[in-house]
Amino acid sequence: MQDITLHITDREGVEHNIQAPTDMNMNLMEVIRSYELAPEGTIGICGGMAMCASCQCYIESDHDLPEQNYDEEAMLAEAFHVKENSRLGCQLFISDALHELKLTLAPEE
Amino acid sequence: MIKTDILIIGAGPTGLFAVFEAGLLKLKCHLIDALPQPGGQCSEIYPKKPIYDIPAFPEVLAGDLVDNLMKQIEAFQPGFTLGERAQTIEKLEDDTFIVTTNKGTKHHAPVVAIAGGLGSFEPRKPPITNIGDYEDHGVEYIIRDPEMYRGKKVVIAGGGDSALDWSIFLTDIAESVTLVHRRNEFRGALDSVDKVQELKDAGKIELITPAEVIDVVGNGKVEGVSVKRGAEVFNKECDHFIPLFGLAPKLGPIADWGLEIEKNAIVVNNALDYQTNIPGIYAIGDVNTYPGKLKLILCGFHEATLMCQSAYKRIFPDKRYVMKYTTVGGVEGFDGSKKEAPKAVIKAIN
């Protein structure tokens, strides 16, 4: 399995180019936490169950991402700072399809 | 004043299990929790989600785990102060503590164990710049007394169960009820959604979707809200604006207790007993941090167990004690109950 590259702009506006493994069943929120791109306690608060919006991010590249499931759609309907390109990082699983994905973390609520 | 041996702040799985371990040492516990029911996140956020990493439970629903813990600690008769948030702590001259809640309930104990998880659950506030100016002057995040809305014009925002249920409830009390939600779809219980549809058709609820409240208008008190629907922005006159966007955990007042905080968690001595920088105050479960910390229920159980042993030594510095296995000592409840292994019968064979 190959690692993929992600381009993540953190909440301070700093861009990070990072490698993420595709074979560890990780999601985007967990990758962001593993690189400590947002302080602990401000991201992934619900643990990755689409029950908070602390991992909300704005997708800025033209990737063909999986459709939002019911939980993600419902949470984004209640979240703040939502834009057209908002997704929950915890619902995006790291796979080859995400290679070179570019995104920015949404502000903390 | 409520008096106890170990005052536990947070009635999630870790706090509940601490009652059991304390009970084995004959220590009484009292728990404070901001939520109205015990169980913490397990009850509030994901009661129907299965957990797979509780030792010896191949699969258990979070709600069932809480029910089992409540059953396990029943004989130790814990006290509960629910629906109140631990607000202040005071250390007395004899090194004991008084913890007071936001509703003024006072608790006195020689040991305080903070098992607060991610913090106390508080309403999520929408990012409206001037909303703070109107809190308690027409903006409420929690409906405490529905009667205060009698004859008033109310705007509710949100798309979940509480937004739907309160919209329905207030139609009989308020002069008018307007529900604003960002989408046309609501995610509440189906019969609540149907009921709102019915009330809308009957002209008793005004539904504004897909729309958002972007501003509060008023002069010292709420006189209306600015609603944005697509490109259109208009004023909706009202006396009360009630945003109901669910709850989110915040470390809250505990952060001001003089405890060492790192990464939004309380630093503890994990090499010994999970005590904080203030002797007598411990932090266990998701609320603490130390090198290698994992926020897992099973780790919280371990931390609770070690905390209780240390608490015993703090409360009874001159008493000697060694940990007993429940298979050997059984479990003696404070309610007079006793559970123990059946005794072997010695009988000769002739």
Structural domain span for residue B169:
131-245
Superfamily for A3-105?
Beta-grasp domain (3.10.20.30)
Kindly report, residue by residue over A24-71, the tens digit of the pLDDT.
999 999 999 999 999 988 999 888 988 889 999 999 999 999 999 988
Asked whether the beta carbons of residue B183 and residue A77 sit closer than 8 angstroms, the reply is: yes
Residue A51 sits at the chain B interface (C-beta within 8 Å): yes
Kindly report, residue by residue over B44-57, the tens digit of the pLDDT.
888 999 999 999 99
Residue A39 sits at the chain B interface (C-beta within 8 Å): yes
Token pair of B309, please? 């042993």
- Ranges of H-type helices in chain B: 13-24, 41-44, 62-73, 131-134, 161-170, 190-201, 297-315, 326-329
Asked whether the beta carbons of residue B181 and residue A77 sit closer than 8 angstroms, the reply is: yes
Instruction: Inform me whether the pLDDT recorded for B258 exceeds 80.
Output: yes
B294's CB contacts (< 8 A; 6+ apart) are: none
Interval B11-39 mean pLDDT: 97
**In chain B, whose CA is at the least distance from the CA of A47?**
B295
Instruction: Inform me whether the pLDDT recorded for B169 exceeds 90.
Output: yes
Nearest Cα residue to B245 out of A45, A77, A50, A72: A77
* Chain B contact probe: residue of A29, A45, A52, A78 with most B CBs at under 10 A: A78
Instruction: Inform me whether the pLDDT recorded for A1 exceeds 70.
Output: no
**Do the Cβ atoms of B52 and B74 come closer than 8 Å?**
no
B262 and B301 share a domain?
A: yes
> Residue B85's pLDDT band (boundaries 50, 70, 90)?
very high
B226 and B303 share a domain?
A: no
**Do the Cβ atoms of B289 and B265 come closer than 8 Å?**
yes
Nearest Cα residue to B244 out of B349, B336, B156, B115: B156
Instruction: Look at strands B6-9 and B29-33 and give their pairing.
Output: parallel
Name the DSSP letter for residue B54.
Answer: B
Instruction: Taking the CA atoms of B298, B300, B302 and B308 in sequence, report the sign of the dihedral they define.
Output: negative
B115 and B255 share a domain?
A: yes
At which of B218, B245, B272 does a domain end?
B245
**Do the Cβ atoms of B235 and B215 come closer than 8 Å?**
no
What angle is formed at CA B111 by the lines to CA B256 and CA B294, rounded to 5 degrees?
65
User: Is the complex ipTM higher than 0.90?
Assistant: no
- pLDDT value of residue B263: 81
Nearest Cα residue to B31 out of B47, B46, B44, B18: B18
Interval B59-65 mean pLDDT: 97
B118 and B20 share a domain?
A: yes
Instruction: Inform me whether the pLDDT recorded for B126 exceeds 80.
Output: yes
- The mean of the pLDDT values for chain B is 94
Question: Does residue B268 belong to any structural domain of this protein?
Answer: yes
Nearest Cβ partner for B46 among A39, A51, A81: A51
B139 and B238 share a domain?
A: yes
Kindly report, residue by residue over B274-330, the tens digit of the pLDDT.
999 999 999 999 999 999 999 999 999 999 999 999 999 999 999 988 888 999 889
At which of B216, B245, B274 does a domain end?
B245
- pLDDT value of residue A71: 87
Asked whether the beta carbons of residue B248 and residue A109 sit closer than 8 angstroms, the reply is: yes
* Beta bridge mates, B266: B261, B288
Residue B127 sits at the chain A interface (C-beta within 8 Å): yes
Instruction: Inform me whether the pLDDT recorded for B119 exceeds 90.
Output: no
CA distance B277 to chain A (A): 21
B171's CB contacts (< 8 A; 6+ apart) are: B177, B199, B204, B205
Nearest Cα residue to B117 out of B6, B60, B39: B39
Instruction: Inform me whether the pLDDT recorded for B267 exceeds 80.
Output: yes
Asked whether the beta carbons of residue B118 and residue A45 sit closer than 8 angstroms, the reply is: yes
Instruction: Inform me whether the pLDDT recorded for B120 exceeds 90.
Output: no
**Do the Cβ atoms of A15 and A9 come closer than 8 Å?**
yes
The CATH number given to whatever domain includes residue B270 is 3.50.50.60
Kindly report, residue by residue over B145-160, the tens digit of the pLDDT.
999 999 999 999 999 8
Burial of B194 (0-12, 13-18, 19+ CB in 10 A): exposed
Residue B292 sits at the chain A interface (C-beta within 8 Å): no
Interval B214-234 mean pLDDT: 95
CA distance B345 to chain A (A): 51
Interval B246-258 mean pLDDT: 88
Nearest Cα residue to A101 out of A53, A109, A93: A93
B57 and B163 share a domain?
A: no
Q: What residue ranges do the domains of chain A occupy?
A: 3-105
Kindly report, residue by residue over B3-14, the tens digit of the pLDDT.
999 999 999 999
| CB atoms inside a 10 Å sphere around CB B132 | 10
CA distance B288 to chain A (A): 11
The total number of structural domains in chain B stands at 2
Q: Please give the distance of CA B135 from its chain centroid, rounded to a whole number.
A: 22
